[in-house]
Structure 1
């Protein structure tokens, strides 16, 4: 009997061990858009690449559109002569054989691809512009007609009208009010007839370099006592590299008291009955400020030196 039990344990033990081994890794695949545009005309092609952040293993690659598993395998995914219905959110995942079965990476964050059946596409920057930046929007046409006029609209209202072959529009020193739904209209003449096409809307968001501070109040009597509370100042800093890791001057101000902190998310304790306001200062030295920020408030231009 003991021998039977021992043999049964030997048989079942590997299965029990294998069932407890994780089949999904802790790291994620990364999908990259190799082609210039994520919005393409029908009939055009597209190139995506998948990378696995693990150089010590041989991974095969699986591709997905939404939740649909695609038949393509391999690091590169190419779409030829695209149809409108072939657009969507594309992602990839790594898979490899092991002694415990197939192990997969976490699925990559998706890249959204739009296939446009029209005649004009408005291209916006891949990164979100900041207040004070110059925003460039480009209207792309199917083919090369003899253009004589191009118009840029925001939320259906004309913003820029220009003549000639130039299809690029520039909005300098943008503010939060410049965010909206943009489209372009292009016109040309052929054989005494005027043709005009308009793109679908493209969403443009504008970010502040430094967001307005938000105060969080934690008043837990058991944790802080009857006459004390915890204040947390939340600030988001959106400047592009080279940007310091956090704000160098966050202030919590109350009646008769001001406390300085060196973190973007700072915590301080104050009397429960204090009236509190928050301030945050831009941490950049002047020479590291983005080149086009003339509208920043004066207090954000103070050097931390």
Structure 2
């Protein structure tokens, strides 16, 4: 089969495309990352060496743009067997290679994001209503993985879905369970061990790892942008939120700001982390993401991450 180029910045759509192709073909699935030392050998062996009674094979090459120029040239000139599908994931289209482009709207293109939410609702068999689309955009935001996860959970309500249900469910999960789990980890609370099992049961592995990665990347951006001190005023938090485009409640909790009537004591993350430690955590999350997508056990991987954060 010819090489298929999946371009654009929508990683979710690329994942869905590959998943559907593997399922449709009942194929063997091989995922290859750009930092594999034997990446070229794996690809060459898989696309040109298949047994008489072997299944069809999908070779999924992630971040093809990060390959060396000589490797790209060699891969693009390979003769692909009929039962092999070679997927090359890139941000920009590869000239002369057919495929699909999956682009996300810019974060400020509200109407395009609402159209995307409408499509997601239809794909999950849910009724498309303007008030539901507006609520999802306002409360979840321009984040394809978060939107996908919230909409998937709404399937249980099907035709009974209304704004009152939405308010309850979206608040309960988006602002409480998964977000609280991320903060329980970054605040090094024992509660994180208890929450882990619930989160693994309620969310797909890819969503959990993506959300954790986003959480620590947001913290790293705040850390790099902000001078370390023991307390912050609300105007400082509001300004930082606008400049970094991170929701103000999240910035407030990262910086240990306590709202009136708040029952728990937030932790000022700037006082318990260093730049190097955050880099190590983000790097570990990158490898956890790879492991989970390759069939690793989510609960074990995240449990080890929690222990690493608490101990280092």
TM category (shorter chain) comes to: under 0.3
Query: Which TM-score applies when normalising by structure 1?
Result: 0.25
Query: Which TM-score applies when normalising by structure 2?
Result: 0.25
Structure with greater strand share of residues: 1
Structure with greater helix share of residues: 2
